[in-house]
Each structure stands twice: as structure tokens, then as C-alpha cells.
């Protein structure tokens, strides 16, 4: 925590502090919908905003940040390199133009299309040029992390992965920790699929919390930074109110048991990959 940011954080390999809770804007429409979501999140107290070149809403994210009146240095801003493009450094410059900011806090390879290593020199070049303070990866499995570490001059700071009690990729999180990489959870609510699970509902009822809050809190207690997505103000507010309680050991164990992946070291199953 800092004086200007009461959130819990984790320290990245570059020394930066990343909040343990942020807003993701995947599948949020460019324009007023994205601008409202980011504005509501920043008003609530979020200080981590996560977007991507592939989302097509970077310009709206940037407008909302500038309109918020919150100093840029108090906001942790992430975008992701679309690996269908060729040069991460060039694309980072384009992202900065759309976002209307001088730097990124974190720039990730969105997924390892074409292999885990080819884009990394361009990512390092983006960092060395001052376009981003940190660089990292997303949807990389444990074996792909090891391949990348063999050739990297700058180690990845973050690996953003699909993660929830139903996708409890414990071996992948362990591999990240062993490599000094902070794991970050996307789709912690299973894009809403997990909210009606009986075990999740029972724990939520017993703890006086909502199913979404239980799922987000579980991931935070596993040590991950978590970026639930929503474009509804009441859900954005609800998802943020998870920093003032703990799930007990019995609840955590019951949630752990929902895993369907065998606690895999892979980022996605072979059938689930889109590249």
C-alpha cells in the first residue's frame, strides 16, 4: 500500500508495484461504454486498468483516464501487443498515441502466437526506448516461460492467465513464482459462468458476500493480481469490495476442489487455444 493508493500491491521484477485488483475491458465496446466503465472504476478506487490492442478500445480508455483528473502516475496502465503484428516496439508507439499517454506501466505479449520468443526482442526494445516501464506475457504456459527465459535479456514481469477455482492452474502459478514472474488472473468469474455454482453460492451466503466477491477474493488469496471485467457500475463497485475480508481455510479448500484442469502448468488446453 502507498499513501495515494490504499490497495494491496505486489512488487514486480522491475521494482514497480502492481495493484492486486484492477479493471479489465475485454469485450467492452469502444466509445461511451468503455469510457463510463473506466471512469466508474477510477471513481470507486481502482488504479489498475487493463486493455489491449486487440480490444479496439484503447482510445476510450485513454479519454477516461485523462478526464478522471487522477494524476497519470497514480494509475497502473496495461496494454498488450497483438502478435499478428510484426514489431512490438512500433505497435507500442501506436498504442501510446491511441491512449494519449507518454508511457505504459506494463506491456504484454497477448499470446504466444508463432512461438514464445520471437517477439521478445521487440518488447525489450519498447522498454529500452522508455515506451513502457515493464514488459511481460499473457497465456504463456510453464514450458513457454522456460523457453523465453533462455533468450531474454529482461525477464518478464507478469504472466496474465485464465484463472479461477474452475481453472486452478496451480502448477503454472508455481512456475511463474519460481521464475520471479507475477501471475495475473483474467476471467476470474468465468465470464459469469461460475457465479451460479452451488459451492460458490454456499460460501458466498455463509460469508455474507456475493459469488463474484468470493471468486475474486480466492484469487487474491492465491497471491495473484486480478482483473475482473465489467461495464456495469454496480458490478464494478461490487468487484472492488473484496479487500476487507478473508476466506477461511475450509472455504478455500472447497473452492480449490472445483478445479477442472488438474492444476495444470499449461495456460490453456490444446483444444482451448485460439492460435
| Residue that the C-alpha cell 476510450 belongs to | 60
**C-alpha to C-alpha distance for 239 and 212, rounded to whole angstroms:** 7
**C-alpha to C-alpha distance for 21 and 9, rounded to whole angstroms:** 8
Active-site residue 55, yes or no? yes
138, 273 contact by CB (below 8 A): no
- Beta-bridged to residue 226, according to DSSP, are 21, 185
Extended strands (E) in the chain:
9-11, 17-19, 23-24, 48-50, 76-81, 106-109, 135-138, 158-162, 182-186, 225-226
Indicate the DSSP class of residue 28. Answer: P
C-alpha cell at 193: 459462468
Indicate the DSSP class of residue 55. Answer: G
- What is the C-alpha radius of gyration for the chain, rounded to an integer number of angstroms? 18
**Residues in Cβ contact with 24 at an 8 Å cutoff, skipping those fewer than 6 apart:** 50, 51, 186, 227, 228, 229
Q: How far is CA 229 from the centre of its chain?
A: 10
Count Cβ atoms within 10 A of the Cβ of residue 202 and give its class: 0-12 exposed, 13-18 middle, 19 or more buried: middle
DSSP SS3 for 47: coil
Catalytic residue among 46, 55, 107, 186: 55
Active site residues per annotation: 55
Amino acid at each position: 500500500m502507498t499513501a495515494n493508493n490504499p490497495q494491496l500491491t505486489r512488487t514486480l521484477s522491475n521494482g514497480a508495484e502492481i495493484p492486486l485488483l484492477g479493471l479489465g475491458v475485454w469485450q467492452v465496446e469502444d466509445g461511451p461504454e468503455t469510457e463510463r466503465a473506466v471512469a466508474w472504476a477510477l471513481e470507486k478506487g481502482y488504479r489498475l486498468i487493463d486493455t489491449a490492442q486487440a480490444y479496439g478500445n484503447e482510445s476510450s480508455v485513454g479519454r477516461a483516464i485523462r478526464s478522471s483528473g487522477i494524476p497519470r502516475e497514480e494509475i497502473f496502465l496495461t496494454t498488450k501487443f497483438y502478435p499478428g503484428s510484426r514489431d512490438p516496439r512500433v505497435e507500442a508507439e501506436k498504442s501510446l498515441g491511441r491512449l494519449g499517454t507518454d508511457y505504459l506501466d506494463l506491456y504484454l505479449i497477448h499470446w504466444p502466437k508463432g512461438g514464445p520468443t520471437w517477439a521478445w526482442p521487440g518488447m525489450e526494445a519498447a522498454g529500452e526506448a522508455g515506451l513502457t516501464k515493464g514488459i511481460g506475457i499473457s497465456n504463456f504456459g510453464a514450458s513457454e516461460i522456460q523457453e523465453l527465459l533462455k533468450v531474454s535479456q529482461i525477464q518478464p514481469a507478469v504472466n496474465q492467465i485464465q484463472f479461477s477455482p474452475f481453472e486452478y492452474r496451480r502448477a503454472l502459478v508455481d512456475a511463474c513464482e519460481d521464475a520471479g514472474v507475477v501471475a495475473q488472473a483474467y476471467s476470474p468469474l468465468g465470464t459469469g459462468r461460475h457465479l451460479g455454482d452451488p459451492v460458490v453460492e454456499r460460501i458466498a451466503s455463509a460469508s455474507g458476500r456475493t459469488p463474484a466477491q468470493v471468486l475474486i477474493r480466492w484469487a487474491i488469496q492465491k497471491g495473484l493480481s486480478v482483473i475482473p471485467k465489467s461495464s456495469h457500475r454496480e458490478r464494478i463497485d461490487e468487484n472492488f469490495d473484496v479487500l476487507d475480508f478473508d476466506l477461511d481455510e475450509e472455504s478455500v479448500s472447497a473452492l480449490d476442489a472445483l478445479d477442472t484442469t488438474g492444476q495444470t502448468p499449461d495456460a490453456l488446453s490444446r483444444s482451448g487455444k485460439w492460435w
